[in-house]
Amino acid sequence: MTEIIIIEDDDSDYKRLLECIENFGRESGEQLNVKRYVSALQFLDGYKSDADIIFMDIELPDINGVQASEKLRATDENVALVFVTNLAHLAIKGYSVSATDFIVKPVNYFKLKTLLKKLIKKSKILKDDSISITSAHSVERVPLSEIMYVEAVAHRITVHLPEREIVFSGTLSAIEKLLPPDRFVRCYQSYIVNLKFVTGYDLNDVKLSNGTMIPLSRSRKKEVTQKLSELFFKREK
């Protein structure tokens, strides 16, 4: 299912865009779920980083689409963002907020069809190579390649990224099911490491590229050392 959000205050413009999206869904067989907001502030207040594609009108009644997109990018860097405008020259403002593309009103179905094909394909790739983490206040999509290791203390889970941490309530077993076993391994009861960041290991610890030492349990040593040996062999080839 591809989640699409439209922020558009004009009913006729919204209906035209929605009609084109629904036509594409029928033609392509893609499952699309569309949600509308007429206010950028209303959208931002309820957004939980759970959209795949956002169509943002530039001229909105409260704050404009560029201002709304600046706030959006502070919480979601990955979502595909498409500006919708009556005036093509306004779309250049999208570069400042990493807009993916823009479309001009009235929406041309064939142009939108080409754009949707591209965006949905990218969205599927992103979903396959990331996981969604729900914390106290938001849902965040995190690329697997950025997860160094995951740590559990009681029901407090910390996902360690190169420059920050994400903390939420849960179990290590639940997040372990989301991580591909050929790229991640549980090396201790309360730790899962990303093999990509492992630079070495000994009888008691696994060493990561940032110098962090993760304990290695006796019961998991055979599985871990086998995976790491295979990893190092591949790196040397």
Q: What is the rounded distance in angstroms from the CA atom of residue 168 to the CA atom of residue 189?
A: 18
CB contact at 8 A, 132 and 140: yes
> Stretch 75-98: mean pLDDT, rounded?
73
CA-based nearest residue to 22, from 6, 10, 37: 6
> Stretch 97-123: mean pLDDT, rounded?
89
pLDDT of 154 > 90? The answer is: no
> Stretch 50-67: mean pLDDT, rounded?
90
Is 66 part of any domain?
Answer: yes
Is 184 part of any domain?
Answer: yes
CA-based nearest residue to 20, from 90, 114, 118: 114
- Reported as a pLDDT band with limits 50, 70 and 90, residue 92 is low
- Reported as a pLDDT band with limits 50, 70 and 90, residue 221 is confident
Q: How many helices (H) and strands (E) does the chain have?
A: 6, 15
Residue with tokens 């349990």: 217
Q: Average model confidence (pLDDT) for the chain?
A: 87
| C-alpha Rg value of the chain to the nearest Å | 22
Q: What is the CATH number of the domain that holds 225?
A: 2.40.50.1020
Is 179 part of any domain?
Answer: yes
CA-based nearest residue to 201, from 182, 183, 219, 222: 222
Number of domains in the chain: 2
Q: Are residues 56 and 107 in the same domain?
A: yes
Q: Are residues 95 and 169 in the same domain?
A: no
Q: What is the model's pLDDT at position 113?
A: 95
Domain range enclosing 75: 2-130
Q: Are residues 109 and 34 in the same domain?
A: yes
Q: Are residues 14 and 126 in the same domain?
A: yes
Q: Are residues 192 and 232 in the same domain?
A: yes
